[in-house]
Amino acid sequence: MSRVDAAIAAARAEGRGALIGYLPIGYPDLPTSIEAAVALAEGGADVLELGPPYSDPVMDGPVIQEATQAALAAGFRLRDLFPAIREITSRVDVPVLVMSYWNPVLQYGVDRYADDLLAAGGAGLITPDITPEAADAWIAASRRTGLDRIFLAAPTSTDERLDLVIENSTGFVYTVSTMGITGERAQLDAAARTLVERLRARGEALGLGVNACVGIGVSNAAQVAGVVEYADGAIVGTALVRALREGGVPRLRELAGELRAGTVHSGK
């Protein structure tokens, strides 16, 4: 059982879903982003998801794009990522995942990236723009290092695609709630619930357990509560970035607590 598996299992044992919180590393500056990640963990996140700023963030909505562009303008470079993770993991006992577009990993060197992430105390990598059949080098590196590899499943995924994702993902499957870019939405698509049901059914057919965590559009405690009725965890990003932007680390910590309260299953 990986550290991410263990965090999700621990939440389940407490009668709740897992809260996975995303922040761009380096925003608004590197030291503050480290303090923000620590506050997010201390405030209630079960798993941290840190995004290195990237010059072509095709999946990110406007709030996260603005934050990552600000981080790049402030001087963030990929070499800053691993020391930041090392400091965060030395201060909180929460698994830290990196959510990265594939090109920076490829340019850095897949094995080198995996080794440096492991040495920094990182738990794994979420790769939104690479599919399992194109990720042989990363699958091999993650198996060698024990890092989690988390692929995405979308409502449009075929059963064959879901099988590939389930067979090659560890930790959890990043279950995309709706088609499109990240951001806050007033109402989550019903497709998310159907997709989780499909993932569970395909996993059962394969004889594999599946942790399905739902992201994209989850922005408040009520939505978190709705998601964990049927999924293993809820992923929140844009709302946390907005809180950091508008109220600094104190507001971020406060929102983390509010979201954590939403993870408790009804009747518990």
Q: Mind telling me the catalytic residues?
A: 49, 60
Alpha helix positions (H), 98-233: 102-108, 110-119, 136-145, 159-168, 191-206, 221-227
- Residue from 70, 165, 178 nearest 127 by CA: 165
Sign of the four-CA dihedral 4, 62, 101, 213: positive
- Whether 166 and 201 have beta carbons less than 8 Å apart is answered as no
User: Can you tell me the distance from the alpha carbon of 167 to that of 160, in angstroms, rounded to the nearest whole number?
Assistant: 11
126: left (phi over 0), alpha (psi -120 to 50) or beta: beta
Residue 239 C-alpha from the chain's centroid = 14
User: Can you tell me the distance from the alpha carbon of 54 to that of 49, in angstroms, rounded to the nearest whole number?
Assistant: 15
User: Can you tell me the distance from the alpha carbon of 28 to that of 26, in angstroms, rounded to the nearest whole number?
Assistant: 6
- Whether 236 and 188 have beta carbons less than 8 Å apart is answered as no
**DSSP-derived secondary structure for 121-145:** T--EEE-TT--GGG-HHHHHHHHHH
The CB density around residue 168, as the number of other CB atoms within 10 Å, is 19
Sheet containing 96-99: give its strands across.
148-150, 124-126, 96-99, 47-51, 18-24, 233-236, 212-215, 173-176, 152-153
The CB density around residue 186, as the number of other CB atoms within 10 Å, is 8
